[in-house]
Amino acid sequence: MSIIHALHYPWAPDAYALDENTIRLSIFLPRSSAKGVWVHYGDRYAPTRELSSRMELVGKTSLYDVYSTDISLQSRRFQYLFEIIGVTQATLTMGADGIGCNLAKDRPFQYAQILKRDLFKEPEWVSSAICYEIFPDRFHRSKSSTSRPSKRALVDWSSEPTSSDFFGGTLSGIREKIPYLEDLGVNLLYLTPIFKARTNHRYDIEDYYTIDPLLGTKVDLVDLVSHAHEHGMRIILDAVFNHTSDHFFAFEEAVREGPGSEFWDWYFIFGDRVSTNPVNYETFGNGIASMPKLNFSHPKVESYFLEVARYWITEAKIDGWRLDVANEVDHTFWRRFRDVVKTAQNQALIIGEVWHDPTPWLYGDQFDGVMNYRFRTIIEDFFVERRIAVSELACRMDDLQFSLPQSASMSNFNLVGSHDTERIFTLLAEDIEQYLLVLVVLLTWQGIPMIYYGDEISMVGGADPSCRRGMDWQADLIQSESYRAVEKLIKLRGQHQALTKGTIRIDHDLASQHILQYTRSYNGDTVIVTLNLSDEPISLPNDRKVWFTTQTPNGKEIKPRQAAIWTK
């Protein structure tokens, strides 16, 4: 491809504000098509673009070289034009009319004005966050709980899970394990749904203002959040707003009263009565009768769930929400949701569940980040499926990091497993060597690492419900190799700001030699992460300091299929 296939749009993620005077610009050029790129810029109302900045080659995707730079103006109003110095052809420009050749006359791109309320700023604390996902029924039974309803029989904690069994984990049980979580180093807990429901997963909520009695009470939640805060941890809850239970009061009345009910239009019902066989209303998934889908264009639906979001932040002091099936609820609602949540707690975190490209939700007006399933897919394609080479792994990781604004990348939950997926250790055929490599990438990449409960001790499990087994509290497992690795990697993140706030630069020349190596840098702190995915050992510089390694002993080289984190 030639330079004429260059890509740039004057909006995020190619152009976006970092602060009130600075924008970040990126341009994508076909691989090896340019020797350099400059951006010429100035105030939109000035007759000329009097300032220039050389752009840095910051990454490579499968098809493009990525060039980027940050430019500043006190006026906050930008015009800019790219100058591309070609390898085999004359210098060209790129502006509002596409590829050109006249720096003086070609029309520039316009970034109309940076406005303070449009700035996308993640919560101040996310750079240091380590998330731990808990499926409450399966984490820990409280030793002191007396509120368990007798009608829900509990299976043995070590049982193979089914879709209907209850294990009896509680909120007070989570509270009792705060010391364990603190020792591990996590500081953000994400709890899957805890509100009243009839299933163990509780994604079919029938009362959004009542904690499920099997888990505890509102007092237990308040106590858990307060205790977590005392130990430097935050807690976010699961917001299941796409759909309700068929036992939710609004749906039950719609069933009883028919089209005359004030709640009939809270749902998408086709016909003059509700039918469950066959289902004649929209649902979560494919005709799941117990989970009717909500109509958020109805003002009362919107106001009801906005109040739910506000209520638990103000009443229980939770630190944010994870939004279930977020891509199936309209953008208008999520913009209003953000206003309500951030007004109640401006440092609250909002994480959407979006399995595909989440860009439309991540311009700063809806979510802070998403469950980063794209990250998981890349990890699975290389380490599990072995579908891609190291060079392609490097390209896809670069594509991931440059596909979103920086604030969104910082806020994403990077995950390799969740309550909806097979356990990563099982997918890796319980290969601890491979698993440690995965953990290194998970805990050194940009964003919030998310550990699914038990992954730190190499728990196994196939597809749902097998991935939702009871947490294994055997003491010998807590001293497992994977636990020690997670603990050390979390501590290392706390010691180096480069690993939490730093830029990422992948060495693509090494990737062609089957070595994944990337450098993270921030304010003079530089850390290098090297995964030797080749069949030969590779040498480290003599003056290096190794902070973490997957191999024993720690020598002057990295053995095949081992990793090291080091500084010069």
**CA 336 – CA 384 distance, rounded (Å):** 40
**CA 441 – CA 435 distance, rounded (Å):** 10
SS (H, E, C) 144-209: CCCCCCCCCCECCCCCCCCCCCECCCCHHHHHHCHHHHHHHCCCEEEECCCEEECCCCCCCEEEEE
Q: Is 238 among the residues known to form the active site? A: no
- Of these residues, 137, 204, 212, 324, which one is catalytic? 324
- Of these residues, 83, 122, 319, 353, which one is catalytic? 353
**CA 456 – CA 485 distance, rounded (Å):** 8
Could you tell me if 440 and 489 are in contact, meaning their C-beta atoms sit under 8 angstroms apart? yes
Could you tell me if 52 and 38 are in contact, meaning their C-beta atoms sit under 8 angstroms apart? yes
Q: Which long-range contacts (CB under 8 A, 24 or more apart) does 219-226 make?
A: 220/170, 220/171, 220/172, 220/175, 221/171, 221/194, 221/316, 222/315, 222/316, 222/317, 223/171, 223/172, 223/175, 224/171, 224/172, 224/174, 224/175, 225/316, 225/317, 225/318, 225/319, 226/317
Q: Which of 550, 556, 553, 492 is nearest to 525 (CA)?
A: 492
Q: Is 353 among the residues known to form the active site? A: yes
Cross-strand bridge partners of residue 350:
321
Could you tell me if 538 and 553 are in contact, meaning their C-beta atoms sit under 8 angstroms apart? no
Length of the chain: 568
**CA 194 – CA 200 distance, rounded (Å):** 10
The distance between the two most distant Cα atoms of the chain, rounded to a whole number of Å, is: 80
Query: Which residues are catalytic, by number?
Result: 324, 353
